Structure 1
Amino acid sequence: MSYVNYTDLELLAFLRQNKRGAYNEIYNRYWKKMLLVAWNHSRDDFVAKDIVQDVFIKLWENQHNCQIDNLPAFLATSIKYQIFRHYRKEQRRTELARANYFYEDISLDEQKLDARFLQDLIDGIVEQMPERCRLVFHYSRTLGLKNHEIAKEANITTKTVKNTLNRALRIIRCELNNHGIRFLVLIKLLFFWL
């Protein structure tokens, strides 16, 4: 069966049904673009190929759990995450090679990097949300407005604000789970972020 004429959403539905042909079509459609992005960041053919391979392996491994609405955005975010992991691993190796570096300093730097990456990843996820969801999330998390203030500002009910925030957090949790970030770490960092 040929999957060439199917949309991304149809391919994702087939992928959840364990259809290898759909997976192959997704790969054929996007691997060159992903490789270019990975190479632009790493300037190393082997590293770029490894990054793209890791993203596609995770896509296959999580095929039954994937709730992806925008495949190109998901793959782009996945590539950025893998690039970050690669840089973090390289930086850790460099730091450990320095004889006068203390473990606490390395751990603190990694926490800062992790928090920065998570913030960037969440920002990317929020940018893909529907407009109202994105706006309410921005009012709440960036501007620190309370639900009744958001309701007044957005001209919606307080209950709609609460439901929209819950939806935004569900979207973020799902996307982070798709990227392999554990929920407990997310909760810890979200509370830190708030």
Structure 2
Amino acid sequence: MRDYSGHSDHELIDLIKVGDEYAFENLYNRYWDRLLYFANQKTGDRVDAENIVQDVFVSLWNRRSELQITSEIAHYLVVSIKYRVIRLFEKQRTQRLNEEKSLSSFDILDNSTQQYLEFDELKQRLEKLICELPEKSAIIFRLSREDGLSHKEIAGQLDISERAVNDSLVKTKKSLSVSLRSFLNSYLL
């Protein structure tokens, strides 16, 4: 390695622009520790800090022929570190939001699946209870709840009084309510 320790930063940049690897190495050694310390203070993570500083120097070398540094190189490097830290934090934030979104949508899907299964089981239980009702009560209940017919319409179809329809529905609802309540209590406990 050539000794460029007596050269100024601007002289090193001029040599780097023409592809002098030794000048680049000298600049790298001159600023590595300070930049690593600065990046580590900002990120709180040594590995992230090392990656950021390494990326800044790699970028500097890759763009060497087109470098237009008008300020001090130390200032240029520190600003580059700041921008990379900001990009790292933005990337981490986006990743975290995506993970949270993924988890929450998974929870919603998982919860809705569970609710569907519970609803389906409740529906099956209700259907079984309706099938156990006396035939006329079951028909009246289905015409009311499934077909959406009024008491008057049901009475007309079955040739019974509206009062008989109402009494049957009240009795059926009470019976189903008691049976479903005991089912739900045993299910929830």
Show the 5 A alignment for 1:59-70.
59-69=60-70, 70=72
Q: Does 1:46 align with 2:83?
A: no
**For residue 4 of structure 1, what is the aligned residue in structure 2?**
5
Ranked by relative contact order (alpha carbons within 8 Å, sequence separation 6 or more), the top structure is: 1
Gaps of 5+ in 2: 106-189
TM-score, scaled to structure 1: 0.50
Q: Residue 94 of structure 2 corresponds to which residue in structure 1? A: 92
Q: Which residue is 1:184 aligned to?
A: none
2:73 to 66, 71, 74: 71
**Residue 78 of structure 1: how far off its partner (Å):** 0.4
- What is the number of equivalent residue pairs in this alignment? 102
1:2 alignment partner, SS class: coil
| Equivalent of 2:85 in 83, 86, 94 | 83
Shift of 1:99: 2.4
- Structure 1 stretches lacking a partner, 5+ long: 103-194
Post-superposition CA distance 1:96-131 (Å, at most 9, x none): 1122789xxxxxxxxxxxxxxxxxxxxxxxxxxxxx
Once the two structures are superposed, the pairs formed by residues 160-179 of structure 1 within 5 Å of their partners are none
Q: Distance in 1 between matches of 2:65 and 2:26?
A: 17
Distance 1:83 1:31 in 2: 16
Q: Distance in 2 between matches of 1:39 and 1:49?
A: 8
Following the alignment from structure 2 to structure 1, what is the Cα–Cα distance between the partners of residues 30 and 62? 19
Secondary structure (helix, strand or coil) at the match of 2:23 reads helix
Structure 1 runs of 4+ aligned residues shifted over 6 Å read none
CA drift of 1:63 comes to 0.3
Q: Which amino acid aligns with 2:32?
A: W
Identity value in percent:
30
Structure 2 CA distance for aligned equivalents of residues 99 and 13 of structure 1: 49
Identify the residue that residue 36 of structure 1 maps to in structure 2.
37
TM-score w.r.t. length of structure 2: 0.52
Task: Give the match for residue 13 of structure 1.
Answer: 14
Tell me the CA shift for residue 35 of structure 1: 0.3
- Deviation, 1:43, is 1.2
Secondary structure (helix, strand or coil) at the match of 2:69 reads coil
Report SS of the residue matched to 2:66. Answer: coil
- Aligned-pair CA distance for 1:2: 1.7
Structure 1 or 2: more helix by fraction: 2
Q: Aligned-pair RMSD on alpha carbons?
A: 1.6
